[in-house]
Amino acid sequence: MSDIYIGIDLGGTFIKVGCFDSQLKLIYKTSVPVEADIKPEAMVELIGRTIEKILADNNLGKKNLRSIGIGSTGQFNLADGFMISNPNLTSFKNVPLRKMLVERLGKPVVIDNDGNAACWGEYTLGTGKGVKDMVFFTLGTGIGGGIITNGNLMHGFADNAAELGHIIIYPNGRKCGCGQNGCAEAYASAKSTAKRAKEAIDAGAKSSLKNIIEKKGEITAKDVYEQLKAGDALAKEIADGTAEALAILCINMLHTTDPQRIIFSGGMIAAGDILLDRIKYYFNKHIWSIKPETVEICFATLGEDVGIIGAAALAQQIQKQK
């Protein structure tokens, strides 16, 4: 067995760990629960033991392990490898995470935020393959993302580039969790899509979604797209609002970084063409007329493993740069 790379997706409730070969083919993956108040030292030890167990279980030696990549929620100082804060990991305040992991593992470690790691995964092995300029969106509870420009991940001055869900598209519009009004995330994340439907029903709108709320106590974006397919008028209105917000985001990214491809990922893309075609429809409705645009708007292909794949791809990249 030759070179091995580890990719880790550090979430709020689970650590996903993947073991990859030199072609970034997944050899083995596992998922370990974590408590939100886990201490940094305990987290580092947990990661260390998980990697050692994976290697042992797969008859791999530590000498084959080249490097480890981590994608995580939170704020970072990437140059120094610090996790400054993390809403999901309450004990992480200015933690020298990379240094701690390098000391525990004895291997190179690269850390990036989860949106960037997933973006790099999709760029390296997914829909972004062969493209040097791309924009990547994740549509989940919130809207995150990453930007590749001229083949490089954009990080920005404070490692805070590509906070794409917080681009304001409707100033003085809906309140976002971040404190701003009118963020794209307040309209078009999976959570906001469901929330807007729920609010409309609470305000008296007639909809087949009402029965689902009465049965389940809540609705999800999945319900909205299912009822849209079944012909529900409110579901259509809500889905149109989501698509229009995402289309405005696409136009604003086109005029900013001029990507060849804009890629949507995350749970909500399971809706399929009924979502993608709508985004394209509103893109064409709002885009300028002074020249034709050829940007490709499409869905990601790597699925739920994109986080560990991207982290492993980052791990491989730092080895190549040496």
77 lies in the site for its own copies, by CB under 8 A = no
158 lies in the site for its own copies, by CB under 8 A = yes
Task: Return the residue of 30, 50, 220, 257 that touches its own copies, per CB under 8 A.
Answer: 257
30 lies in the site for its own copies, by CB under 8 A = no
Strand-pairing partners, residue 7, are 18, 69
- Cα distances (Å, whole numbers) of residue 94 to 64, 73, 168, 284: 31, 14, 29, 45
168 lies in the site for its own copies, by CB under 8 A = yes
Task: Return d(Cα 51, Cα 8) in angstroms, integer.
Answer: 10
Task: Return the residue of 33, 130, 179, 217 that touches its own copies, per CB under 8 A.
Answer: 179
Closer to its own copies by Cβ: residue 162 or 315: 162
Q: Count the site residues for its own copies by CB under 8 A.
A: 49
Query: Closest separation between CB of residue 178 and its own copies, Å?
Result: 4
Whether 254 and 124 have beta carbons less than 8 Å apart is answered as no
Nearest alpha-carbon partner for 246 in 227, 221, 220: 221
Task: Return the residue of 6, 55, 176, 238 that touches its own copies, per CB under 8 A.
Answer: 176
281 lies in the site for its own copies, by CB under 8 A = no
Whether 166 and 184 have beta carbons less than 8 Å apart is answered as yes
Query: Closest separation between CB of residue 186 and its own copies, Å?
Result: 12
Whether 131 and 255 have beta carbons less than 8 Å apart is answered as no
- Which span sits near its own copies by CB under 8 A: 3-11, 13-21, 32-40, 166-174? 166-174
Query: Closest separation between CB of residue 76 and its own copies, Å?
Result: 12
Nearest alpha-carbon partner for 249 in 299, 190, 184: 184
277 lies in the site for its own copies, by CB under 8 A = no
In the block, residue with structure tokens 């969790």: 177
Task: Return the residue of 22, 149, 317, 319 that touches its own copies, per CB under 8 A.
Answer: 149
119 lies in the site for its own copies, by CB under 8 A = no
Query: Helical H runs in the chain?
Result: 40-57, 97-105, 114-125, 185-188, 190-202, 209-216, 221-229, 233-257, 273-286, 306-321
286 lies in the site for its own copies, by CB under 8 A = yes
Query: Closest separation between CB of residue 307 and its own copies, Å?
Result: 21
Task: Return d(Cα 212, Cα 227) in angstroms, integer.
Answer: 10
Which distant-in-sequence residues (6+ apart) come within 8 Å of 32 by Cβ? 14, 15, 17, 46, 50
Task: Return d(Cα 200, Cα 203) in angstroms, integer.
Answer: 5
User: Residue 156 burial (CB < 10 Å; 0-12/13-18/19+)?
Assistant: exposed
Closer to its own copies by Cβ: residue 127 or 227: 127
What single DSSP character describes residue 158?
T
64 lies in the site for its own copies, by CB under 8 A = no
* Binding to its own copies in span 195-254, by CB under 8 A: 244, 248, 251-253
Diameter over CA atoms, the chain? 64
- Which span sits near its own copies by CB under 8 A: 63-71, 206-214, 288-296, 313-321? 288-296
Residues at the interface with its own copies (CB under 8 A): 75, 131-133, 147, 149-150, 152, 154-164, 166-171, 176, 178-181, 244, 248, 251-253, 255-260, 286-291, 294-295
